[in-house]
A and B are shown apart, each in its own frame.
Chain A
Amino acid sequence: MVNIHDFNQIEEYVYEIPASFREDMRVPARFYADAVLLEGIKNDRSLEQLVNTATLPGAVKYALAMPDIHQGYGFPIGGVVATELPDGVISPGGVGYDINCGVRLLATRLEQEEINPYLDILASSIYANCPSGVGQGGHVKLKSGELDRLLELGSTWALKRGFATEADLERTEENGCLEGADAGKVSPRAKDRGKGQVGTLGAGNHFIEIDVVDRVLDETAAGRMGLFENQIVVQIHCGSRGLGHQVCSDYVKRFQKSIHRYGLNLPDRELVCAPLSSPEGRDYLAAMKGAANYAFANRQVLAGHIRHSFEQTLAGKVRHHQLYQIYDIAHNMAKVETHIVDGRQLKLCVHRKGATRAFGPGSRELPAAYRAIGQPVLVPGSMGTESWVLVGTQNSMTQTFGSTCHGAGRSMSRKKAKKSVNGAGLRDQLESRGIHVRAGSMSGLAEEAPAAYKDVNRVVDVVHGAGIARKVARLTPVAVIKG
């Protein structure tokens, strides 16, 4: 248990648990919060989990947590840990079960008033065209061997199949394809789970949302992205579906056996890991990249379904019904990146579990259009609340290995949310605020009630205040589609 006297406030929004707190810590643990978020953080075991991640072999500088931190499996959600190559470890728990769960933002040139008369039918069209919920298969039929190509090519596969444009790929993290993915390292069982789910939303906290840009705070960055006030945009939040979960499960199981061989002594079985230089570590990285590519392709196909829905509903009725991509980001991923740490250039494996890459201006990994403003960071709020578009900063490069928050962060378990919130009542409440709701399950809706989450505006205020991302625009929902 971590108590208030175990950590020090070192800056306005930054707290540190020194490495002396527990014998097995290799580096200090740092987290970002304000006074209100801090109270919430103390209510679960997330800080203890953060301390556990500071014990990982090869961890450099500090183990970090973003202000949306909450309890996860092994790693806290909102956690960022960088381990040094070649012998630092990679941990499937540091990526999460839903590998490359992430967010895509598409934009129209439409203003809210133009779309209002068609919103209800548009929400229904998206709900019908984007398979969602438990057991719903996708519309995309893969030929023999095609899943392997999808795993190795990601969004490039989608481009070849006509689900993407070159511009979509250019505005996707890593261009929607992590190099080094190896379909041979993904188990037949994972492929079984993935082959029928391409272009599906799933259930849980995944959603498609139509939003209006209600406030622009950085005209230059917003202009560069093509965002303006009163504009209609669309968010897609989902990941690698059953395939990613199976890859994580397979390697958590395999690593349980190998940790003893590498002499690793861990405080939590969900933290199992292997040196990046080991056969197990290399295999997991290659399989994880395959699952990440699956997630990029999945969001790309969903984007195609949403474009079709806009065409179906709005063609001939409004001036422009086309959707163009702003950006697509991952928030559950481990990536090999180069960072400057204490004046030394190091090759690191940066685990971001419920955290978003937030590279600052000038980073060569960014598309030319965004190199001057920094990487777009997409932070979805809870259902019915605001979401944010931010950009990465130079501070995020020096403070957090180029990382920032990923969302609101849960403050209540699903079980508790289901007990305290009535799904149908919540739907009526959202509808009365002018938000069109399409949901496959009322209990699923209750689990995702805004009351079950932290205040996303407060989370964003902290990362903005700490300088590890900068506000660009705020979005408010007008239609929510859930499984």
Chain B
Amino acid sequence: MLNAARGMNSLMVPKHTPCSENQEKFVELEAMDSESLLVDWLSELAYWAEIEMLVFHKFKIEGVSSTHLRAIMYGTRVAQLEKHIKAVTYHNLQIVQTENGLTATVVFDV
């Protein structure tokens, strides 16, 4: 989940954007399966980026399972977004167990 958020941030925010944590938001998500939870999680981040230009860099996970996530997100407002992610889709959505851990494929509508 954290790496997926970092991957998404790398698309939204220009490189070398200063990271501070002067804003925080609480999130609690309940989904029908782990793929849907990933979509919901990234959709949450895309929502704050669009509404308040708020990008989160640090996360305190208070509880997580394959269908549930409870976390506090810390981040900052940015002046500019490199890429506007309009939606997180189910297209080719995949979470695969590999030797190095879980690999997720997510397609964004931009």
Contact = CB atoms under 8 A, between A and B. Distances in A.
Interface of A: 73-74, 97-98, 134-135, 189, 192-193, 202-204, 242, 245-246, 248-249, 252-253, 256-257, 268-270, 272, 414
B47 A193 contact: yes
Given A204-B86, A270-B89, 19 more contacts: A73-B90, A73-B107, A97-B86, A134-B81, A135-B81, A189-B47, A192-B51, A193-B47, A203-B84, A204-B110, A245-B86, A246-B87, A249-B43, A253-B36, A253-B39, A256-B32, A268-B91, A269-B93, A270-B91
Contact of B86 (A189, A242, A253, A272): A242
Contacts of A73: 89-91, 107, 109
Contact of A242 (B50, B89, B90): B50
Interface string B73-110: 00000001101101111110100000000000001011
B71 interface: no
Interface size class of B (residues with CB under 8 A): 20 to 34
Most buried by A among B32, B90, B109, B110: B90
A97 B89 CA distance: 9
A147 B43 CA distance: 23
A262 B39 CA distance: 23
Nearest to B49: A135
Contacts of A97: 86-87, 89, 109
A267 to B, nearest CB: 12
Given A134-B81, A192-B51, A74 B91 contact: yes
B1 interface: no
B5 interface: no
Contacts of A246: 47, 87
A252 B39 CA distance: 11
Which label, helix, strand, loop or mixed, suits the secondary structure of the B interface? loop
A116 to B, nearest CB: 34
A93 to B, nearest CB: 9
B40 to A, nearest CB: 7
A203 B110 CA distance: 8
Instruction: Give 10 nearest A-B pairs by CB, closest first.
Output: A269-B90, A134-B84, A73-B91, A245-B87, A134-B81, A245-B86, A73-B89, A97-B87, A270-B90, A97-B109
10 contacts: A73-B90, A74-B91, A97-B87, A98-B86, A135-B53, A204-B84, A242-B50, A245-B86, A248-B87, A270-B90
B92 to A, nearest CB: 9
Contacts of A242: 50, 86
Nearest to A197: B50
Contacts of B90: 73-74, 252, 256, 269-270, 272
